[in-house]
Structure 1
Amino acid sequence: MILVYINLINYMDRYTIAGVLPVIANDFRIKDSDSGLVQTVFICSYMVFAPVFGYLGDRYNRKYIMGGGIAFWSVITLSSSFITKEYFWLLLITRVLVGVGEASYSTIAPTLIADLHDERSRMLSFFYLATPVGCGLGYIAGSKVTSAAGGDWHWALRVTPGLGIVAVLLLFFVVQEPPRGGAEGRIRRKPLTNSSWTSDIKSLLKNPSFVLSTFGSTAVAFIAGALSLWAPTLLMRARTVLYKVNPCLRDVLSCAEILLFGCVRSVTGIVGVKAGVKISKRCRKKNPRSDPLVCGFGLPCAQPFLYVSLVVAKKSLISS
């Protein structure tokens, strides 16, 4: 439950900026291409350091690595809330550093769950429920706190650092470091041993299931990441055009569509994760390959709805 809580604030912190991106762009007087850099530099940093922390997590105490990473991104996020409008480049640097901290947790936490439970799919589904819920809460908290602060987006970045410090304390004083491979302890005869980086890479590249699953996950992250970053901005601009209102950012931030979008993001994410696990579990009795089949069937089913939501946004935000 503590790991789920940390994952929740992890994604909440990641998408708080998305909920107030138009305000940030207006404050720094930057274009959309520069606004996108706020998330791009974060993802690039995350991508580079995730394998590094994965390597360290296999060899050193995972709890200490995660605790240090959470404390690091909490301090950096709080520091970024004091950046003035003359230093947009400094905001980008802080987002790079936040990516380093978040990579340390997101990479290692699932391995603790895998070592604690035999029923990994079910337990990991609870862990990943925090992803859509955290995204939705990030939109809501970012927009509402900024609106309450009179349009000052800096206050939105001061919400998650306090929650992060609580997470560090819970991690150090409550969470236990399970033995590696503990869930297979009944059947494993030989102890786990460390292997070299190159041998790990070669072994993974020879595993077609891993390679294809990685490509699929990358494609999903590409689409979901773009939508998660730009959807609040789309709703704000569409509201201005459709309802012929003045583009007052403080008023737009408090619009019902943003709150509804955050709620929809959270609720549908929960439904999707739980439904996927349930369907896969039932189908596994007839087909052991049910997990990839459910993923492969679910993704194409979502594409028509994605297209329609963008088309109908021209006429109705609620329908979109």
Structure 2
Amino acid sequence: MHGRNADSSSSTSPGVGEYIEIMEEAEPFISSPNSVNRNFQRRREEEETKEEHSGQNAVGDVYHDPPPIGITRAYATVVILFGINLLNYMDRYTVAANLIEIQKFFKLDENDVNGKSGLLQTVFIIGYMLTSPIFGYLGDRYSRKIILLCGIAIWSGTTLGGSFVPSDKYGLFLFLRAVVGVGEASYSTVASTIIADLFTGNRRTQMLMLFYFAIPVGSGLGYIAGSALTKLFGFWQAAFRVTPVLGGISCILVICFIKEPRRGQAESNNRNFWNTSYLDDLKALKNNRSWLYSSLGFVSVAWVIGALSLWAPVVIKYAYSIQGLDDSNVDFYFGAVTCVSGFLGVVTGTMGAQWYRRFNPQADPLVCAFGLIVGAPFLYLGLLLAPIVDIAAWGLILIAEILLFLNWALVPDILLSVVVPTRRSTASAIQMLMGHALGDALSPYIIGAISDCIRRNMDMSDEYEQFYSLQYSLYITTFITVLGGGAFLFNALYIEQDKLRIVKIVTGDAGNPADRVTNGALIVPVDGPVEDDQYDSYSD
């Protein structure tokens, strides 16, 4: 079934022209004994000859297969990566949970306090987005395990260092938050690609669902733990000294238990892949319409989540204050709402898309579009009712966040299904660059700056000015969600053909691929029995 030659494929394929087009696209990076790409097969043999003579790994684009990975270790890998991702987002949103305390500690200028506070998220994202393409390039070519370890060490160390910055060094605190972004970028760009190389089909979607639970749940725990630790110890710096310790433990777990899989292992049945040049990778991504439109949808999600994560707790606190209510538990409530909505949103989006794939191969982007478009009015009403009926506002925000979180596991699953294995880290990194450069690097600062401009023209008490200026500026998020929904609708127009193209490339089979696609996901049979300690790929 694998690796049919050109003549036999031509006789069975419904279109010879389509076969030629697919194999020409596959030529730069597929190498297999049965492949039509003989030039690259000869190159591989030359590299292996070099290795035999030198006694060392050949230097070049060829990637040498690591030993197969057992099923138990594969699941353990996902659990460890989930735990690290949880810490990643807990650390990120500890700042938002203690934003008012940080403002007071560094004595920020009252005239532009919101703008300067928004810079905390902006500089973090700038560090994150500027370095993610570098780590994407490295992640497609070098050891992802080492990249993981470096990333954890960097963000853990700089988070700890930020807790010791004196009150007159706000610029240094901003710098350290930018470096935290560098560390987290190195982890985030490669972690999901490891999961993609361990699983395929619906099982991959389920493992990505578990991995991306960490985003909303970790964010919610960041609010809860961040505010709780500040209350427990009496100073906000305590909240920044817990996750670094857990980060050190995570490094030990990565060293001891994670074994890196071969790129494309789960899909290709041990076919070998070559890396193309970075410029060729970027050109291919530019022409990949499913990846492009899903990335634009991700931009809108990042914009909205970036704005809400920093400013929603603040605006709700001011809403409580103008109603004469105690606002000391707002961070806890917001964190709990985020955890619950994240769990429900990720599960509903993933399981709903899996079910809908039985009837419509465009299911993934359509579910993403539905969540964003339908979530916009709930978000608007939640902000509108915040100073009037607090219980109703919390309920509306919960529904809005559930709908926003429908896409968390689906967006990376779309990426992994429409990009070849040797470009996935790069594709993930560029998608992050787009999402952060145009999304959450800008939105916290923009919302804060607009709020300051509105407040200058108000003549109310400080609490009323802060609330209404932030409320008006946050209304922008409802329009951005609708734009994101439109991007996913465009994505739905191309997703089926782009998935099919990758199936043909990865399997080397330009014949009828119907037996290789189940519920819109790639299923690759493994030759011979699969033993638990000789695991090649696992699929539903």
Same fold (TM over 0.5): yes
Distance 1:164 1:18 in 2: 20
1:5 maps to a residue whose letter is: G
Q: Is 1:309 matched with 2:382? A: yes
Aligned-pair distance for 1:317?
Answer: 2.9
Aligned residues of 1:72 and 1:98 also touching (Cα < 8 A): yes
Alignment of 1:95-134 (within 5 A): 95-118=177-200, 119-134=203-218
Distance 1:60 1:100 in 2: 18
Q: Which residue matches 1:13?
A: 91
Aligned residues of 1:19 and 1:143 also touching (Cα < 8 A): yes
Distance 1:113 1:183 in 2: 9
Q: Which residue matches 2:169?
A: 87
Distance 1:298 1:87 in 2: 42
Aligned residues of 1:257 and 1:318 also touching (Cα < 8 A): no
Distance 1:242 1:258 in 2: 17
Distance 2:180 2:329 in 1: 30
Alignment of 1:59-208 (within 5 A): 59-118=141-200, 119-150=203-234, 152-186=235-269, 189=271, 191-208=272-289
Aligned-pair distance for 1:241?
Answer: 1.8
Gaps of at least 5 residues in structure 2 are 1-78, 394-540
Q: Which residue matches 1:37?
A: 119
Q: Is 1:238 matched with 2:322? A: no
1:237 maps to a residue whose letter is: Y
1:10 maps to a residue whose letter is: N
1:133 maps to a residue whose letter is: V
1:79 maps to a residue whose letter is: G
Aligned-pair distance for 1:244?
Answer: 6.3
Q: Is 1:28 matched with 2:111? A: no
Distance 1:195 1:218 in 2: 27
Distance 1:280 1:203 in 2: 27
Distance 2:320 2:367 in 1: 36
Aligned residues of 1:19 and 1:142 also touching (Cα < 8 A): yes
Gaps of at least 5 residues in structure 1 are 246-251
Aligned-pair distance for 1:238?
Answer: 2.0
Q: Call closer, same or farther: CA 1:285–1:164 in 2, change over 3 Å.
A: same
Aligned residues of 2:320 and 2:387 also touching (Cα < 8 A): no
Aligned-pair distance for 1:267?
Answer: 0.9
1:160 maps to a residue whose letter is: T
Aligned residues of 1:8 and 1:134 also touching (Cα < 8 A): yes
Distance 1:154 1:52 in 2: 31
2:160 maps to a residue whose letter is: L
Paired residue for 2:304, among 207, 223, 231? 223
Q: Which moved more, 1:116-125 or 1:300-309?
A: 116-125
Aligned-pair distance for 1:235?
Answer: 2.3
Distance 2:167 2:276 in 1: 48
Q: Which residue matches 1:295?
A: 368
| 1:130-153 Cα deviation digits (max 9, x unpaired) | 110000000011111111222x11
2:360 maps to a residue whose letter is: N
Distance 2:305 2:188 in 1: 17
Paired residue for 1:262, among 335, 338, 350? 335
Paired residue for 2:134, among 46, 52, 76? 52
Paired residue for 1:2, among 77, 80, 104? 80
SS of aligned partner of 2:142: coil
Distance 1:43 1:317 in 2: 32
Distance 2:163 2:298 in 1: 32
Aligned-pair distance for 1:185?
Answer: 3.2
Q: Which residue matches 1:249?
A: none
Aligned-pair distance for 1:258?
Answer: 2.2
Over the aligned positions, Cα root-mean-square deviation in angstroms equals 1.2
Q: Which moved more, 1:303-312 or 1:232-241?
A: 232-241
Distance 1:128 1:120 in 2: 12
Distance 1:284 1:103 in 2: 32
Q: Which residue matches 1:248?
A: none
Aligned residues of 2:124 and 2:177 also touching (Cα < 8 A): yes
Aligned length: 309
Q: Which residue matches 2:445?
A: none
2:376 maps to a residue whose letter is: Q
SS of aligned partner of 1:318: helix
Aligned residues of 1:235 and 1:258 also touching (Cα < 8 A): no
Aligned-pair distance for 1:50?
Answer: 1.0
Q: Which moved more, 1:304-313 or 1:229-238?
A: 229-238
1:161 maps to a residue whose letter is: P
Aligned-pair distance for 1:184?
Answer: 1.3
When Rg is computed on C-alpha atoms for both structures, the one with the higher figure is 2
Distance 2:257 2:166 in 1: 38
Distance 2:155 2:226 in 1: 17
